[in-house]
Amino acid sequence: MAKRETGDHPDLKLVNPNAAVIDIGSTMHMAAVNPDVHDSPVRAFWTFTQDLHDLAVWFQSCGITTVAMESTGVYWIPAFEILQAHGFDVILVNA
């Protein structure tokens, strides 16, 4: 795999191009994927069940295999369960 530039930090290298991130909120989740795989790499999703399934479908269409999410409350639980059910390797990370 070729080394990719990372903006103003050329000493950083891309480790997993098939990873995505989610900032979990109480009413909305902000999700981001590798900008090389989608024209709009950052999207907002509501927290309703159908929206979480839509998030999973979007990740699948982008070739995502791993999802890291950050949450300061219990709002991560439904997203975690739905993403795992869709086959993603989901990781809850500390802020």
In the prediction, which pLDDT does 11 show? 80
User: What per-residue confidence (pLDDT) applies to 77?
Assistant: 96
**Which tops the pLDDT comparison, 5 or 77?**
77
Q: Report the alpha-carbon distance of residue 25 to residue 83 in Å, rounded.
A: 16
pTM: 0.85
Number of compact structural domains in the chain: 1
Question: Is 12 domain-assigned?
Answer: no
Q: Is residue 61 part of a domain?
A: yes
Q: Which domain holds residue 24?
A: 19-39+48-93
- Residue type at 26? S
* Cα–Cα dist 43/67, whole Å: 14
Question: Which tens digits make up the pLDDT trace of 17-55?
Answer: 999 999 999 999 999 999 999 999 999 999 999 999 999
67 falls within a domain: yes
Nearest to 56 by CA among 72, 39, 71, 78: 78
